[in-house]
Structure 1
Amino acid sequence: MLKSAYNIPKMDCPSEENMIRMKLDGLNVIRKLEFDIEKRSLTIFHTDEDREITARLEALNFGAKLVNIKNVDDSEVVAESSEAQSKLLWTVLIINFGFFVLEMTTGLISKSMGLVADSLDMLADSFVYGLSLWAVGSTLIRKKKVARLSGYFQLTLAALGIAEVIRRFIGFEEMPDFRMMIGISILALIANAICLFLLQKSKSKEAHMKASMIFTSNDVIINAGVILAGILVLLTQSKYPDLIIGSIVFLIVVRGAFRILKLG
């Protein structure tokens, strides 16, 4: 049995872990994947040398680099419980999709593009978790087709969002409700932290949550950005902080959509 260690600098979110899992799906030589988001590392246990593993990781543009490869005893490899993993994915999928609905609704009510954009980021994560679940009992061709469809759908929503931001920049829109922006974003931040905690806890016997682990997630940083935008809207009495953060998040969603399309 071979044990390959990879450093993946741009793997800072649980949804990116699942994108890697899907990208490596179908390689029969792989026996187990061990992820550490905090350290941005991936350990792969596989039966034979296969350059396709590295090629697929590099195709995602997460900066994956092979650190070392060594022989290990087969007894070191304990198979992952697919049932436990599916249950965990369903949990984070429901949390992310629920907050997509909440943020989209409150974003439209409060006229906050920051909340609308963040809701699409939550939807993007839901797509990734959903694709991971779909892949469990699905053929590779069907999985790739669904990945492409979800990627294009995500791109379309982000493009509409960017167009709306531009319209609001040049138009005379009223100031967004900063109270709703801050309040809902705090709840979304807590939800993202819980998802990250659950996913990391499943890989460790330690039940506590490290602060450094939480803030490796892009989702948490985005939530903090919307909160900051809400505070700036209050202090400046201007719509522009909300539109600026909305633009940034929409671009992040676009990047995520292209990553999903690379799975196909």
Structure 2
Amino acid sequence: MAGGCCGGCEVPPSTSDTSWRRVLWIALVINAGMFAVEIIAGVAAQSAALKADALDFLGDSANYAISLGVAGLALRWRARAALLKGASLLVLGLWVLGSTVWMALAGTLPQAETMGVIGVIALIANLACAVMLWRHRDGDANRRSVWICSRNDAIGNIAVVAAAVGVFGTGTGWPDIAVAAILAGLGVSGGWQIVRQARGELREVAQSMTAPSTIKPT
């Protein structure tokens, strides 16, 4: 970024292109729908993993909505949005960890069949989003945050299906608890990555605003 830009003339981001917006809208609809499906199924099946994954779908829906709102804005606004999303992901991950501990102490046994069916549906949905977002994975913190969330979701859904098999095979709820903890860990890790890059971009903008102009008077 040029030193004399003063934070107001950043190069317009590629997130303003039509393809990026279209992909975000599709991903937003898919994630909002899957949140409703998984939260209902998670409560009915008493599955910590499904509920954790449902909250992740909700977080991603907000992620896509915010990304659409700041697409085309200056870098400082996109970085601020990414910082908010990263902090929210950190909080969500910590909440899921606490909820998982509570369910482990309660000793609930989830319904493996429901976990497996919903897990496969969620995996298909997230793989579709990940494929669409693959070519948009590089760029600023705001764009990268979208890719990180989609990547984590696909990994998480594979783990949910594995947990369903584990619950069915062992007759205990521990595979469900373990997967919920993994999903929470992914959320905390992804949130920290987003926060770190967003803070770096905000520092870059601040430096460009305070840098002396290189234009000499004639």
So what's the TM-score if we normalise by structure 1? 0.58
Is 2:41 the partner of 1:106? yes
Q: Give the aligned partner of residue 67 of structure 2.
A: 132
2:36 touches 2:54 (CA, 8 Å); kept in 1? yes
Give SS of 1:249's match: helix
Q: 1:233 to 1:170 in 2, by over 3 A?
A: same
State which of 43, 57, 63 in structure 2 corresponds to 1:122: 57
Q: Take 2:180 and 2:100, find their aligned partners in 1: how far apart are those partners?
A: 7
Q: Give the aligned partner of residue 237 of structure 1.
A: 171
Q: Give the aligned partner of residue 82 of structure 1.
A: 17
Q: Give the aligned partner of residue 95 of structure 1.
A: 30
State which of 176, 180, 185 in structure 2 corresponds to 1:251: 185
What is the total number of aligned residue pairs between the two structures? 177
State which of 126, 133, 142 in structure 2 corresponds to 1:192: 126
Q: Take 1:98 and 1:259, find their aligned partners in 2: how far apart are those partners?
A: 27
Read off the aligned partner of 2:22 and give its amino acid letter: K
State which of 150, 154, 175 in structure 1 corresponds to 2:85: 150
Q: Take 1:170 and 1:164, find their aligned partners in 2: how far apart are those partners?
A: 10
Higher helix share: 2
Read off the aligned partner of 1:228 and give its amino acid letter: A
1:124 touches 1:257 (CA, 8 Å); kept in 2? no
Q: 1:140 to 1:241 in 2, by over 3 A?
A: same
State which of 79, 98, 113 in structure 2 corresponds to 1:163: 98
1:120 touches 1:253 (CA, 8 Å); kept in 2? no
Q: 1:162 to 1:218 in 2, by over 3 A?
A: closer
Q: Take 2:13 and 2:88, find their aligned partners in 1: how far apart are those partners?
A: 33
Pairwise CA RMSD: 2.8
Q: Take 2:28 and 2:13, find their aligned partners in 1: how far apart are those partners?
A: 25
Q: Take 2:13 and 2:132, find their aligned partners in 1: how far apart are those partners?
A: 23
Q: Take 1:118 and 1:100, find their aligned partners in 2: how far apart are those partners?
A: 8
Greater relative contact order (CA < 8 Å, ≥ 6 in sequence): 2
Q: 1:198 to 1:151 in 2, by over 3 A?
A: closer
Q: CA deviation at 1:135?
A: 2.1
2:35 touches 2:57 (CA, 8 Å); kept in 1? yes
Moved over 6 A (4+): none
Q: Take 2:186 and 2:94, find their aligned partners in 1: how far apart are those partners?
A: 12
Q: CA deviation at 1:201?
A: 8.4
Q: Structure 1, residues 112-134: CA drift from partner, whole Å, max 9, x if none?
A: 11112222333343344333322
Q: Take 1:147 and 1:258, find their aligned partners in 2: how far apart are those partners?
A: 11
2:110 touches 2:176 (CA, 8 Å); kept in 1? yes
So what's the TM-score if we normalise by structure 2? 0.69
Read off the aligned partner of 2:118 and give its amino acid letter: I
Q: 1:87 to 1:185 in 2, by over 3 A?
A: same
Q: Take 1:184 and 1:91, find their aligned partners in 2: how far apart are those partners?
A: 20
Q: CA deviation at 1:159?
A: 1.8
Aligned-residue sequence identity (percent) comes to 30
Read off the aligned partner of 1:164 and give its amino acid letter: S
Q: Give the aligned partner of residue 179 of structure 1.
A: 113
